[in-house]
Each structure stands twice: as C-alpha cells, then as structure tokens.
Amino acid sequence: MAFSVAMRNPALRILFRNSWALGVWLLLGALVLWYSTLIPVFGPFQITSITKNSLPLVYLAIGQAIIVISGGIDLSLGALLLLSNVIAARFMAGQPLPTVVLIALGIVAGLALLNALVGFVITLSGVPDIVVTLATGYIWSGLALWILPSPGGGTAPEMRWLFTGSPSGVGGSYWPPLLMLLIPGALVAIWSRTTRVGLSLYAVGSNKTAAQLAGLDVRRAKIVAYGIGGAMAGLAGLAMVALTGTGDPRFAIGANATLNSVAAVVLGGVALTGGVGNVFGVVATGVTLIMLNPILIAMRVDSNNAQVIQGVLIAGVMMFGGLVAFLRERRS
C-alpha cells in the first residue's frame, strides 16, 4: 500500500505521528484568516495583540501539558501564576534592569523548585494529584494576597518589551512576543521527545507499573514534570505583569487561568489519562482559546452565548477525538 510506503519515509512518519498537533496549528491558521476578514485592517498591531495576549495562557498550558503527559494534573498552576505575578509586580517596581532580571530568574527557578517539591510530596504520600494541587492552589492564592493585598506594583520597560514588543505594553513589534510564544513551546516539546528524562514522562504517564518494571525512575519523572509546570507558571506570571504593568492578586484570575490551561491541553490532543500528546500542539490551542473571544465579539455574539459556544466547541472537538479513537479500536 502507498500508505505503508509513506510510513517508511521518516519525514512523513513524523508528520503522521504529530497529525493532531499539525491539525490544531492549521485550525489556528484558519481562525486567524477568518478573523482578518471580520475586521477592517489586519496588520502588525493585530499580530502583536494576539501573540502577546496569548502568552500567559500558552505558558500555563505548556506546563499543564507536561504534567498531564506524565500522568498527573495540576490545579494550582493558576495560583502559581498569581504568585509569580504579584512577586514580580511588588519587587520589580522602580528597580534597575539587572535587579529586575535577577528577580525574574529567581521567580522562575523558585516556582520550579516549589512545584517540584509538590510533585515530590505527591509521589511520597500517594495522595491523588488533584487533591494535593487543589490544596496547594489555595495556599499560593492566599500567599499572593498576602504579598500584594490589592492591585499595584510595576515592572521595568525592558521586561514589558520582552513579552509585548513595546516598553509601554501596546502596539509594539510582533517579533519579541512571537518568539517568546514559540521558543519555550518548541524547547519543551523537543526536550520531551528527544531526551531520556523527557521520554520517561510519556512512559510513566502511559503505564506507571510498566515504566517502573522497565527500570525507569517514576518518582524523578513526576518531580521533573511538576518542576517544569512551576517554571512555566512563573513565566506566565511574568508575562502577565509585562502585559498590564501591574500585579493583580485576585483569586478569580488564577482560577480562570487553571481552567483555561486544562481546556487548552485537552484541545491540544494531550490525553488526560496521560502518556499521549505533543506539547507544541497546546501552543496553538492556547492561542486559539484567546482568539475565540475577539471572533465571537466581532460576530456580535452576546457574551452569555459566547461562553456556551466556547464550551460546545471544546466538547465537540473532544467528542470528535473520542470518535477517532473508537473507529481505531473497531478497525483493529
């Protein structure tokens, strides 16, 4: 068969193996195209706007994807984003650039260690991920309020430029946000598919016992996955402070972010049962979720209906994925 011939070609094989990720990127392309017909002008301003506003969700979704692939789920990622956001806003305000950079690195490294510790506690205690991270999520949200009781603080213009392409946060070049969107996603995706530790996440998430019997370090895999999740949440909080120029400790922001990260992961073809999925796909679905809102507004869909449509879309894509899996089972 022509198909099996194609499978022997390595390039085509990679394409087939990542067909869901490819599909969501094409879907995003189609949405951007559609959006560009709904508005009078589509240019650099719009590209910058879409990419920079997607950054927090995309980072959070990458972190969530890695954790879900390793067989866990982290409901505290949104709260970690809040924590990163308020620490950055409170301590970066009015500081010189070197201090700001140090604080940024410290936040990413610190939250990575903090969440790795949570991963360690999960493996040690055997308490389900969802329970532990629900609890830690409340702790981080409380801490965030304690650090910054009400919206305020600030950051350096250079920091804002890095994530938004402009020192003021609006209307800058689209290259910095575009690169900040693609590079972390690509790095984590390549790392997860080519390194020994990265691949062990898939093995552990797919079948923990088999992975253990095969001699893989299950505990290390989980700790690493949660550590990456923490680092990405730290990055998301930095992106948020760059977007608004202030910190905001409100609980709802973190809770929304967590839910959206799970939605992006699910849409991106990462199975919630673990072991399946491509991290680079969730970059596209993160942007897609951000794009839905302007498109629905442009179509004059009432806000109350917009949420329903968003939910129906997620359910529809998921049921489509289920149908594909069902057909596969029946064929084989």
Question: In the complex, which residues of this chain contact other proteins (CB under 8 A)?
Answer: 3-4, 7, 16-17, 19-20, 22-24, 26-27, 30-31, 33-34, 36-42, 45-46, 49, 53, 56, 149-151, 166, 168-171, 240, 243-246, 248, 250, 252-253, 256, 290, 293-294, 297-300, 303-304, 306-307, 317, 320-321, 323-324, 327-328, 331-332
On whether the CB atoms of residues 205 and 195 are closer than 8 A, the answer is no
Measured from the CB atom, the residue of 223 and 295 that comes closer to other proteins is 295
Structure tokens at 170: 């609006």
On whether the CB atoms of residues 239 and 253 are closer than 8 A, the answer is no
Closest contact distance (angstroms) between CB of 280 and other proteins is 14
- Please state, in angstroms and rounded to a whole number, the distance separating the CA atoms of residues 83 and 233: 9
Measured from the CB atom, the residue of 209 and 303 that comes closer to other proteins is 303
Structure tokens at 48: 């910058």
Measured from the CB atom, the residue of 219 and 250 that comes closer to other proteins is 250
Closest contact distance (angstroms) between CB of 245 and other proteins is 6
Instruction: Show the 3-state SS of the chain.
Output: CHHHHHHHCHHHHHHHHCHHHHHHHHHHHHHHHHHHHHCCCCCHHHHHHHHHHHHHHHHHHHHHHHHHHCCCCCCCHHHHHHHHHHHHHHHHCCCCHHHHHHHHHHHHHHHHHHHHHHHHHHHHHCCCHHHHHHHHHHHHHHHHHHHCCCCECCCCHHHHHHHHCCCCCCCCCCHHHHHHHHHHHHHHHHHHHHCHHHHHHHHHHHCHHHHHHCCCCHHHHHHHHHHHHHHHHHHHHHHHHHHHCCECCCHHHHHHHHHHHHHHHHHCCCCCCCCCCCHHHHHHHHHHHHHHHHHHHHCCCCHHHHHHHHHHHHHHHHHHHHHHHHHHHHHC
Measured from the CB atom, the residue of 50 and 221 that comes closer to other proteins is 50
On whether the CB atoms of residues 290 and 53 are closer than 8 A, the answer is yes
Closest contact distance (angstroms) between CB of 96 and other proteins is 21
Closest contact distance (angstroms) between CB of 22 and other proteins is 6
Measured from the CB atom, the residue of 196 and 331 that comes closer to other proteins is 331
Measured from the CB atom, the residue of 67 and 242 that comes closer to other proteins is 242
- Please state, in angstroms and rounded to a whole number, the distance separating the CA atoms of residues 255 and 58: 15
Closest contact distance (angstroms) between CB of 153 and other proteins is 10
If we measure between CA atoms, which residue out of 138, 44, 153, 37 comes closest to residue 88?
153
Measured from the CB atom, the residue of 20 and 226 that comes closer to other proteins is 20
Measured from the CB atom, the residue of 3 and 196 that comes closer to other proteins is 3
Residue 289 CB coordination number (10 Å): 21
Measured from the CB atom, the residue of 41 and 213 that comes closer to other proteins is 41
Closest contact distance (angstroms) between CB of 67 and other proteins is 23
Closest contact distance (angstroms) between CB of 224 and other proteins is 27
Closest contact distance (angstroms) between CB of 326 and other proteins is 10
Closest contact distance (angstroms) between CB of 74 and other proteins is 21
